Amino acid sequence: MIGVEDPRIAWRETLDIEGRLQRNPYGMLAGALAIGFVLGGGLFTRLTARIVAVGLRLGVMALLPAIQQKIVEQQQQGE
């Protein structure tokens, strides 16, 4: 049949895992660790809650200067 491709080959070409691994090995390692963590049942643990809490705190701390600047700009425009 013309134009019919093996689905396994099409899937492999679509994912291009070998190419992604060569272009971004650390990203692939991080993805593999994340998938293993989730599949291993680590998503709803105390450790995950602590990691998320620390991440949120760091994110808020990083955004505070920008938020303060916007508030000051809005106050100055209102005067």
Per-domain residue ranges of the chain: 1-42, 44-79
Can you tell me the mean pLDDT for 43-59? Answer: 92
- Residue 39 scores a pLDDT above 70: yes
Could you tell me the pTM of the whole model? 0.50
The three-class DSSP label of residue 41 is coil
Q: Write the CA distances from 9 to 17, 19, 33, integer angstroms.
A: 12, 15, 26
Kindly give, in sequence order, each residue whose CB lies less than 8 Å from that of residue 15, ignoring residues fewer than 6 positions away.
none
Ranking 3-7, 11-15, 27-31 by mean pLDDT, the lowest is 3-7
Q: How confident is the model at residue 2 (pLDDT cuts 50, 70, 90)?
A: low
- In this predicted structure, what is the pLDDT of residue 44? 87
**pLDDT band (50, 70, 90) for residue 42:** confident
